[in-house]
Amino acid sequence: MATRTIAGKTVQVNDEGFMTVPAEWNKDIAVEMAKDEGIADLSPAHWKVIDFCRESAGVSGKAPTLRTITNGSGVSTKELFTLFPKGPAKKVARIAGLGKPEGCV
Is 104 an annotated catalytic residue? Answer: yes
CB atoms within 10 A of CB 67: 11
Catalytic residue among 14, 72, 104, 105: 104
Query: Which are the catalytic amino acids?
Result: 104
